[in-house]
Each structure stands twice: as C-alpha cells, then as structure tokens.
Structure 1
C-alpha cells in the first residue's frame, strides 16, 4: 500500500537507526501485520491491542512528517 510506504520508508531511513534494539524488533513485528490494520493505526482510527505494537505505532506516529535532521 503506497500510503504505508510514505510513512514507513522515511521512518526506516531517518528514525530506525537510532532506535533501541527492542524497538527495532517491534518495527519488524509491525511489518508482519496486515496493511489495513497498519493504515488504521497510523490514521489514528484504531490502536493495536498488542502493547508491543502500541509502542512502535506511537513511535512511528510521533515521527511521521518530521523533517530529517541536517
């Protein structure tokens, strides 16, 4: 889904490298989820039930649309 690429690819490039290992593992767990679920989470329509996913979804939300540090 293109919309997810627009959220997740910049996050992967700009934020992922600075995450703690546990959050990096949560990110890869997130990628195993259904596209429709992730889209709903990132659009603030729903929250994941899994606390591990809740954490990484919030990290992604908090960093979506932020410019890359120079």
Structure 2
C-alpha cells in the first residue's frame, strides 16, 4: 500500500486558478511517482501554500524562503520547458 493518499494529493492539486491547474495537476500525474521521498514531501508541503504564493513563485519569479520548496518550484518549472 502506498504511503501517500493519492486521492487527497489529487484533490489538493486542484487550485482556484486555471494557470495553476494547468501546471500542478499535470506535474503530479506525470512526475510524482518518479520523485524522491524528500521531493514528494516537498511537493505535498507546496500544495499547502496559497494560490497567490504558488502563482508568484511559478510565474512571477518570486522564490519561497524554504530551500526545499524553492528547489521543488525550480523542478516544476524545468518540466514546463
């Protein structure tokens, strides 16, 4: 049995902004299983952040202070390229 509640994560991937929905859910579906345990934990913590924070980090060039979240944002952005 998986350590992660995939239905819960999938629900948390649904955001209030279309731009985020077009990035977060596809990233989860395509890349979550291949992440390391540390990256999975960072992604789950990232989902607890507000839509405004996520939008700012992913699209506006802002960076979270937390190094693990910053690294996960960079990883997500690199998959968009």
**Aligned counterparts of 2:60 and 2:74: Cα–Cα separation in 1:** 10
**Higher fraction of helix:** 2
**Aligned counterparts of 2:60 and 2:78: Cα–Cα separation in 1:** 12
Q: Which fold has the larger relative contact order, with Cα–Cα distance below 8 Å and residues 6 or more apart in sequence? A: 1
**Aligned counterparts of 1:64 and 1:23: Cα–Cα separation in 2:** 17
Cα-Cα RMSD: 1.1
Paired residues, number: 65
Displacement after TM superposition at 1:44 (Å): 3.8
1:33 aligns with 49
- What residue ranges of structure 1 are gaps of 5+ in the alignment? 66-70
- What residue ranges of structure 2 are gaps of 5+ in the alignment? 1-16
Displacement after TM superposition at 1:32 (Å): 0.4
1:13 aligns with 29
Moved over 2 A (4+): none
